[in-house]
Structure 1
Amino acid sequence: MKKFFARSGLALAALMACAGAAQAQSTVQLYGLVDLSAGRYQDPGAKSMTKMQPGGMTTSYWGLRGKEDLGGGLSAVFAAEGFFLADTGASGRFNGDAFFARNAYVGLSSASLGTVQLGRNTTLLFVSTIVYNAFGDSYTFSPTVRHVFLPSAITAPVTGDSGWSDSVLYTSPKLGGFKASVLAAAGEKVGHRNVSAGLNYDVGNFSAVAVYQDVEKDISTALKVDDTRTWQLGATYDFGVVKVFAQHTQVENRSVAGSPKSKLSDVSAAIPLGNGKVLAAYGLLNRPGSADQKTFSLGYDYFLSKRTDVYVAAMSDKDEAKATYTTAKSYGVGIRHRF
């Protein structure tokens, strides 16, 4: 960790050295997204409930971001982004969530040297998980998001949050289709750190990613959690008539005797139809032992404009680890608006 932060300091110094005598030019942007649906929703092991569901396709958020031109190709950047629940107006994703839980960072960016961000940063694993599946970051309908980030009867496959506080994120410039990222969160008070690295490849209609993550502390509570090490591979190809996605994730819990491993596989597709697209996804969570979870989702997302879409989706979620209500069935209709 000392070496990483030392190198981060050198990267910051190198970026600052490129500034020269700059004439500052800055911009600040207000933006966000509101998503709300209604329908019948059910989690495995629980009864169904007819209700308003915030974030059917995307968790609602708002934010401010800015950029100042420092000259010589160097810019200062910042972002402060918070989640909120559109059905009640409450801030955060849940009670006790930080006000700017999505992102809160400041940094320097250079087209030739890359970008360094200090503060709270969205994890590389979360970004790869939502980009390489057809349902994006839907905690309601995306099989892979539910399997990787939601708690289960045995254990949450991945410990830690989707954003890390007290972190440093470096993203390299794109070179020959490749882009690398490194993220580290300092141990600080509890003395445990989180680290992650990722490599993306984008050329034409093909895109792929490989991500590694090691979690030792829960950033939201600053407490030590199970040490989980995660590998994820993802790929997508746009054939025009259909865009296909595939992911494979392996999670090793090193805090449990024998270091049990869970394996998660997901395939999905987005098929253009009219002014929208049909979405289909299947996910399989193989836990240690025989209690698997199988999730299938189907939906249609129709765009009324570039910023507003309406959607309908249904999901069957079978979890063999549950004693009752083993198979959960959910469906809903919703609207999503970007500003």
Structure 2
Amino acid sequence: MKLYRLQGLAAAALLACAGGTAVAQDTNVQLFGLVDVGVGRLQEPGSAAVYRVENGRMTTSHWGLRGTEELGGGLQAVFSLESFFRADTGATGRFDGDSFFARNAYVGLAGTQWGSVRLGRNTTPLFVSTISFNAFGDSYGFSPTVRHVFLPNAVTAPVTGDSAWSDSVLYSTPTWGGFRANAIVAAGEQNGGRNWSASAVYGAGPLGATLVFQDVKKGATVPDSRTWQAGLSWDFNVAKVFAQHTRAESRGVTPEAEYRLTDVTAAIPVGGGGSRVLAGYGLLDRSTGRDRRTFSFGYDHQFSKRTDLYAMAMQDKDEAAATRQTARSWAVGVRHRF
């Protein structure tokens, strides 16, 4: 009797799957992610060097689910749920206490004629601009640009509000002749305050350009900041060169400060398989203290479209640090995309 019941349940499950396939035939769901682990000497200005295995020195490890459903008339439903993790320990998030889907968590609508609207937790236009217009991409470990704009330093963090905003609405226009615009607003929830940002991006042929403004007013535990950034890139074929200038104002803290950040980076192709030599220099000029200067250099060897081996070195001198120590770091690591 139990066998017949099990067979009946199995048949019902198969029918349900078959029916679900028929209903969801215009739906596409993708599992994706990236794992980055390296080993080397890591040091921050004013701190002692440590030798260790480290997660995400070139790209923060992450995984996610994203999908689309065709609704007809060129309209799509879109969603994405993306989580950071630390591959060296297996822990979730970028740090203890990080939200599970801290990278992105949104649902929205997209159309070929009017663009897209995404509701939830969205990556900010400033972060996209910062990582798109420097040769090291989203490397918190070795990109002078990312380290200067988003990492706390000996005085304070120039930009506050994280790389993605919760309780947000993000609108992106279609691309017209290489031009696209984005705007995001984060509601005044949780920590009280409202954030907003807008960007314009151009890319056609060898030229790329971006201009973005961001205003953060998120409440008592997150200092206010106001930031604008301009970026340019030009592909000379023998090298792709990037330049960025960022101006950030830190508000609601003592003392209030202004930061000017200038970064120049380059990616030089080696061979025909996507391998590159990377080099970059960044200067952080503070209104309240001494400068911070960062130089990075390395080689990224592309085994395939999904797997690469990198070897990077960095000198990071923050003259506002208590000891004014020059930090020197290096790492060798592997990235795999899936």
Tell me, yes or no, whether TM beats 0.5.
Answer: yes
What is aligned with 1:17? none
What is aligned with 2:75? 74
Q: List aligned pairs for 1:231-270, cutoff 5 A.
A: 231-256=228-253, 260-270=257-267
Shift of 1:252: 1.1
**1:278 touches 1:299 (CA, 8 Å); kept in 2?**
yes
What is aligned with 2:214? 213
Alignment length, in residue pairs?
Answer: 314
What is aligned with 1:121? 122
Q: Distance in 2 between the 1:237 and 1:79 partners? A: 31
What is aligned with 2:10? none
Shift of 1:190: 4.0
**1:61 touches 1:81 (CA, 8 Å); kept in 2?**
yes
Q: CA distance change for structure 1 residues 108 and 24 in 2, over 3 Å: closer, same or farther? A: farther
Q: For each residue in 1:234-279, what CA deviation from the matched residue of structure 2 results, as whole angstroms up to 9, or x when unmatched?
A: 1111110000000000001232478531100000000011341100
What is aligned with 2:164? 163
What is aligned with 1:181? 182
Q: Distance in 2 between the 1:161 and 1:256 partners? A: 17
Shift of 1:171: 0.1
Q: Report SS of the residue matched to 2:137.
A: coil
**1:232 touches 1:249 (CA, 8 Å); kept in 2?**
yes
Structure 1: gaps spanning 5 or more residues: 1-21
Q: 1:227 aligns with which of 205, 212, 224?
A: 224
Shift of 1:23: 9.6
Q: In percent, how many aligned pairs have the same letter?
A: 61
Q: Report SS of the residue matched to 1:137.
A: coil
What is aligned with 2:305? 306
What is aligned with 2:7? none
Structure 1 counterpart of 2:45, one-letter code: P
- Give the TM-score of the pair, scaled to structure 2: 0.90
Structure 2 counterpart of 1:227, one-letter code: D
Q: Report SS of the residue matched to 1:129.
A: helix
Q: For each residue in 1:118-161, what CA deviation from the matched residue of structure 2 results, as whole angstroms up to 9, or x when unmatched?
A: 00001111111011001111111000101111111111100111
Look at both structures and tell me which one has the larger radius of gyration over its CA atoms.
Answer: 2
What is aligned with 2:86? 85
Which of 145-154 and 112-121 deviates more? 145-154
Q: CA distance change for structure 1 residues 290 and 190 in 2, over 3 Å: closer, same or farther? A: closer
**1:190 touches 1:224 (CA, 8 Å); kept in 2?**
yes
Structure 2: gaps spanning 5 or more residues: 1-22
Structure 1 counterpart of 2:195, one-letter code: N
Q: Distance in 2 between the 1:182 and 1:270 partners? A: 29
**1:24 touches 1:70 (CA, 8 Å); kept in 2?**
no
**2:258 touches 2:288 (CA, 8 Å); kept in 1?**
no
Q: For each residue in 1:50-69, what CA deviation from the matched residue of structure 2 results, as whole angstroms up to 9, or x when unmatched?
A: 00110021000000001000
Structure 1 counterpart of 2:85, one-letter code: F
Structure 2 counterpart of 1:180, one-letter code: A
Structure 1 counterpart of 2:285, one-letter code: N
Structure 1 counterpart of 2:66, one-letter code: R
What is aligned with 2:333? 334
What is aligned with 1:5? none
- Give the TM-score of the pair, scaled to structure 1: 0.90
Q: Report SS of the residue matched to 1:225.
A: coil
Structure 2 counterpart of 1:213, one-letter code: Q
**1:46 touches 1:325 (CA, 8 Å); kept in 2?**
no
Is 1:323 the counterpart of 2:322? The answer is yes
Q: CA distance change for structure 1 residues 322 and 189 in 2, over 3 Å: closer, same or farther? A: closer
Q: Distance in 1 between the 2:315 and 2:191 partners? A: 40
Q: Distance in 2 between the 1:122 and 1:111 partners? A: 21
**2:186 touches 2:195 (CA, 8 Å); kept in 1?**
yes
What is aligned with 1:28? 29
Q: Report SS of the residue matched to 2:113.
A: coil
Is 1:272 the counterpart of 2:269? The answer is yes
Q: Report SS of the residue matched to 1:147.
A: helix
Shift of 1:191: 3.4
**1:56 touches 1:141 (CA, 8 Å); kept in 2?**
yes
Shift of 1:110: 0.1
